[in-house]
Amino acid sequence: MTILVIGKTGQLANELSTVSANKYPLLGAKEINVFNEDELSQQLLSYSPSILINAAAYTAVDKAESESDKAYALNADAVKNLSTFCKSNDCFLVHVSTDYVFDGSSGMPYPTDAEIAPQSIYGNSKAKGEQFLRDILGENATIIRTSWVYSEYGNNFVKTMLKLMRERSSIKVVDDQIGSPTWARGLAKACIEAATHQYRGTFHWTDEGVLSWYDFAVAIHQLGLEKGLLNRQMEIIPIPSRDYPVPTPRPHYSVLDKTETRSRFSTPMTHWYTQLSKMMDDLVRSDRTE
């Protein structure tokens, strides 16, 4: 079984490398061209893969509104090309998607078969990628939807909060957007399990528990002080979304129903606070705080 990871510099790709002890090659732009079907096929065939894990994505939610071509190219067209390769070469595909494919108006966790209704370019591009995959591979692939992903690598909410908490005496954080954080390391383990067992269908993966961005920021502050990543108290002010305008609408409620995932996966789902604490321990050890 030869597993290749599509993506090289992102949070998930780095965690896949960590979890697998660098067992799986990470293929970035220098190794493959996901935007050209013929070129991609030739490049992938040189590795003779049996499984692909697609950890590459355009995730700049606000920038996607002005860079829609880039968002659709990586989140949709590239998925189409990867799916076509897998169809032609008997290769299994694990693809990671997002809570942004839903409209965020529900008050109950979204099941895997809930109606798709993205409200942004980013969400639309990810939904189109899902559709390309299903059109080409049917259920002979894994789609894992996730939300609020963070890790010690790259840019994410946790590292941004820590930076602002060092620089400012107070910050404002929205308290009416509800969801579940996901440590990319746990997601990486789930992707590897799905790949090695070739689980077919759509699944949801996040850490356990539900909270607001404000609650998440308060926990980051508390743990940051405990672990020495922060050296002073500061004020965190809850505000409604209307007081924090952004180019892209965020889902007000994006909790994902994980019933099917719990019934299939053996990788444990852990509470978000425990996962956040572990990730911040990694930050202390690695000094990747910027």
- Which residue blocks in 58-206 are alpha helix, DSSP H? 68-72, 78-88, 121-137, 157-167, 184-197
**How many alpha carbons lie under 13 Å from residue 206 in its C-beta half-sphere?**
25
- Which residue blocks in 211-253 are alpha helix, DSSP H? 213-226
Which candidate in 24, 58, 72, 122 is catalytic?
Answer: 122
Find the helix or strand (DSSP H, E) in which 41 lies: helix 37-45
253 as an active site residue: the answer is no
Find the helix or strand (DSSP H, E) in which 92 lies: strand 92-98
Amino acid at 185: R
DSSP state letter for 73: I
Closest to 176 (Cα-Cα) out of 240, 250, 100: 240
Query: Is 136 within 8 Å of 89 (Cβ atoms)?
Result: no
Mapping DSSP to helix (H, G, I), strand (E, B) and coil, where does residue 65 land? helix
Query: Catalytic residue numbers?
Result: 122
